[in-house]
Amino acid sequence: MTEKRRDEFGLISYLTGGQTIPQALKGRIAVGNGDDAAVVAGRSGYDWVVCCDSMIEDVHFKRQTMLPSDIGHKALASNISDIAAMGGMPLFYLVSLGLPRTWTEEEVAEIYKGMTELAMRYDMALIGGDTVAMPGPLTITVMVLGEMEQGRALRRSGAQPGDLVFVTGTVGNSGAGLDVLLQERWGVHNIPNEWEFLASCHRRPEPRVDAGRMLAQSEIRIALNDISDGLASEAWEIAEASDVVLVLDEANIPLGDCIQRYAKVSRKDPLQWAFYGGEDYQLIGCAPAAAKEKLSEMFEKAALPLYWIGEVQEGKAQVWLRKWNGKLTQLEKKGYNHFT
């Protein structure tokens, strides 16, 4: 006997029922979920900021690495992070689901729960999506609409020689967390307490909207990118978009205590996770050297971390790493790439 399931429309109601729309957005949704498309109002003096990103079973997660609610959280978080990387404020989102038979309706509802909890924290409203059967892995694509002050988007191409490079938090935790989660001997529910922090960095990254908004509103010239594929890959993206050289100081790459302990016991190099692991969803950026003090003060006042990790020089796009001994080596242009 096969399990009785809701039909497509029943499933949509089951998943999206009970959503609350934040007060601030109520007046802006002319047509929400339930028609052919949503209609939302823009605000004068603001630009829309729009992005979409997908998560695919066995590419972005395995059942072993993520609980269903983590998948929902991270699918939305990675999109919010792209809005943060432009300096924007996330507002609305749409969710497209490809569902295989091997996932129960309850598990899919858990994915929604993870997503909804994060959306509520950011006062975001779900305004639509799509639900289809999938003969392969579970797929989830989220699209986010955000807004920001007109003409003020923080682009990857904004870096200039003389700038300094910063990052908004410690890096490598997500890659190390994935390493923890892929250790078969533990299983998803039995991660040792001492590595739980790394696992949670992988499963529940916090997008840095706070930092992105502060940078956008500072009126300082900033180049910005979020770390999805790894610090090296994102630094290269800034170097190429701005046509400058980035020089990163190995000694200043911020590594947390937990990753350093885990690297020691697993005899691995934590910098490999920092540069090439990805999915930290911190922001890496460049700002004029003259603005260093002001930015540091702003972040300190807001109790947000900010680490200065290098400088920008003139020249053909390139990323160098200044090693502990002062020697320069090229930081490999690699990171997570879907097709290599």
Ligand X SMILES: Cc1ncc(C[n+]2csc(CCOP(=O)(O)O)c2C)c(N)n1
The residues binding ligand X (CB under 6 A) are 53, 59-62, 65, 78, 178, 228-229, 278-279, 336
Count, residues in the chain: 340
Going by C-alpha positions, the residue among 100, 227, 99, 105 that lies closest to residue 172 is 227
Q: How far is the CB of 56 from ligand ATP (least distance, A)?
A: 12
Q: Strand ranges (DSSP E) for 137-259?
A: 139-149, 163-167, 223-226, 245-249
Instruction: Answer for the pair 119, 21: CB distance below 8 angstroms, yes or no.
Output: no
Q: Which of 57, 82, 250, 279 binds Mg ion (CB under 5 A)?
A: 82
Closest separation in Å from C-beta 188 to ligand X: 11
Q: Does the annotation place 47 within a ligand binding site?
A: no
> What does the block give as tokens for 64?
């072993």
Specify the DSSP class assigned to residue 21.
P
Total residues contacting ligand ATP by CB under 6 A comes to 5
Distance CA 20, CA 35 (A): 18
- Asked if 250 touches ligand ATP (CB under 6 A), the answer is no
Q: Tell whether residue 229 is a contact of ligand ATP (CB under 6 A).
A: yes
Interface with ligand ATP includes 280 (CB under 6 A)?
no
Query: CB atoms < 10 A from the CB of 163, how many?
Result: 27
Is position 82 an interface residue for ligand ATP (rule: CB under 6 A)?
A: yes
Which one of residues 53, 163, 250, 279 is an interface residue with Mg ion (CB under 5 A)?
A: 53
Residue listed under structure tokens 């923080």: 154
Q: Are 129 and 19 in contact (CB under 8 A)?
A: no
Q: Is residue 221 a known part of a binding site? A: no
First to last CA, the chain: 43
CA 89 to chain centre: 14
Q: Decide which of ligand ATP, Mg ion, ligand X, none touches 103; Cβ closer than 5 to 8 Å per partner kind.
A: none
Asked if 279 is part of the footprint of ligand ATP (rule: CB under 6 A), the reply reads no
With CB atoms as reference, the residue minimizing the distance to ligand ATP is: 228
123 is in an annotated binding site: no
Q: How far is the CB of 44 from ligand ATP (least distance, A)?
A: 26
The CA distances from residue 131 to 10, 120, 121, 144, 241, in Å, are: 11, 22, 25, 17, 36
Residue 228 touches ligand ATP, criterion: CB under 6 A: yes
Q: Output the known binding site for Mg(2+).
A: 36, 53, 82, 130, 226, 229
Residues that bind ligand ATP (CB under 6 A): 53, 78, 82, 228-229
As annotated, the binding site includes: 36, 53, 60, 82, 112, 129-130, 156, 226, 228-229, 279, 336
Q: Which residues are annotated as a binding site for substrate?
A: 60, 279, 336
